[in-house]
Structure 1
């Protein structure tokens, strides 16, 4: 297996690897998992694998989960088909920095995303290293957010396009989750900035330490949360991947955010993703 770093802080391309073989080869899979912990997102080209191979490989990381809104392939549970074409209006594209499903009490550990069809130009995906984003925060900000928690909502994101009754039913099925603003990676021990576009507000900001007068409440908390969410957009923390049919990305959802660039409609972009169940952030 060959490993080529793509940027200073995040991302590496693997060569000499067949993911169908990695699904059954313990040594090869172990090397891929180690590389993922180091580089946070891995990329491969020319992976001629089946849906069954895709699911089998992703399952080596852990149990797969289905998406409550998108659903999964009926013959391959856990494999989400993300097909964008002329039947997908521009306002239904994913163009926001996010960490997958942080509105779950236990967000995904990671994902394996494979490209079936893509535009000749456009439709890239960008990932950002949120461990580095935390490390580079000013000391006073690190101290200020050390014990903060934030609320994460599916109602305020996927539910926003739904009629009110359907939106409330979605929230009842998936109540808002509360996570630390800074989580500890369970395998590397790194501290990770863990707020993204699913985060709606801090849940324990309004204390006498932070709020001396009433007017401090909303601006102080809102401005700080916006500042933290904006850290993902810093280029020095990012890697950008140009898709080709048969290419694959594997990412650690615990330490990254990603952004699907919406610059290709009405061209076709067909992707399949296997999301891997995770643990409760601490």
Structure 2
């Protein structure tokens, strides 16, 4: 067999870069992620046509990457604001001069923290989770500190049909108290939950712009709220272990490498992602090296 042929005799498919208007996009995997070439986000913040191209590429690839974006915080915020209103994070807070810009700084004065090194979709404990985010590397380690993104539309497409039938119509509870609040004293944790009550979302959401079905459970999901029905539960053991096993199985789908892309950061690198259709994982393999990131989170809508 020729090394350039497949068993069927056809030449193997090749992932090629393509251009949508003036921007060249090079796919990084066959399922998610593309690097944009020849574009500056400060220009895109002011240019309607350029921004429209980027938005269409984001819907297609779900996460976009750029190098050499030597932009100011004001330009960072201006670009992200083109997608929608920016939001603060209740735990991390925002830059006082640039509302909506969160400084995620891990330096030698920071103790190792592990709340980021889990696959998650940002802030699904909100009734309306973020639409997406624009993350820029200010300073990074020589090696390590990569971020992984996952295509959760692809994860849903590859579920067995009997699982798709089983989860149709299911809803799950998502909690900040059980995650960020877990390290807090009880009174502070309860106050956090009072400010941000648990949210309830469909297990399978529909993307409001592409119409794709998306598997929408992650580490913030604590349990199903409407699992205990005669169709699903015969006796008590079907309820708690049965529901927990199913939820854990669904959450584990984000760990499939075929649905993922991994990005190595450099100073002035940027990632733009669609939070509605992806999860991500910040790999914490660099401490005590320094890693300083700045993120603008974009408000979203209520999943359906």
The normalised TM-score by structure 2 is 0.92
Mapped contact 2:114–2:284 kept (Cα < 8 A): no
Q: For each residue in 1:208-230, what CA deviation from the matched residue of structure 2 results, as whole angstroms up to 9, or x when unmatched? A: 11110111111100000000000
Match of 1:200 in 2: 222
Q: For each residue in 1:195-242, what CA deviation from the matched residue of structure 2 results, as whole angstroms up to 9, or x when unmatched? A: 000000000001111110111111100000000000000000000000
| Deviation of the 1:112 alpha carbon | 0.1
Match of 2:170 in 1: 148
Unaligned runs of 5+ in 1: none
Unaligned runs of 5+ in 2: 1-22
Match of 2:157 among 135, 147, 166: 135
Match of 2:246 in 1: 224
Indicate the SS of the match to 1:169: helix
| Deviation of the 1:92 alpha carbon | 4.4
Match of 2:137 in 1: 115
Indicate the SS of the match to 1:80: strand
- In 1: Cα distance, 2:264 partner to 2:114 partner: 21
Indicate the SS of the match to 2:113: helix
1:21 aligns with 2:43: yes
- In 1: Cα distance, 2:240 partner to 2:143 partner: 42
Q: Size of the alignment, in residue pairs?
A: 282
- In 2: Cα distance, 1:259 partner to 1:146 partner: 27
The normalised TM-score by structure 1 is 0.99
Match of 2:63 among 33, 41, 64: 41
Match of 1:162 in 2: 184
Q: For each residue in 1:141-181, what CA deviation from the matched residue of structure 2 results, as whole angstroms up to 9, or x when unmatched? A: 00100100000000000000100000000000000000000
Q: For each residue in 1:41-82, what CA deviation from the matched residue of structure 2 results, as whole angstroms up to 9, or x when unmatched? A: 000000010000000000000000000010000000000000
- In 2: Cα distance, 1:96 partner to 1:257 partner: 10
| Deviation of the 1:121 alpha carbon | 0.3
Mapped contact 1:93–1:262 kept (Cα < 8 A): no
- In 1: Cα distance, 2:151 partner to 2:272 partner: 14
Moved over 6 A (4+): none
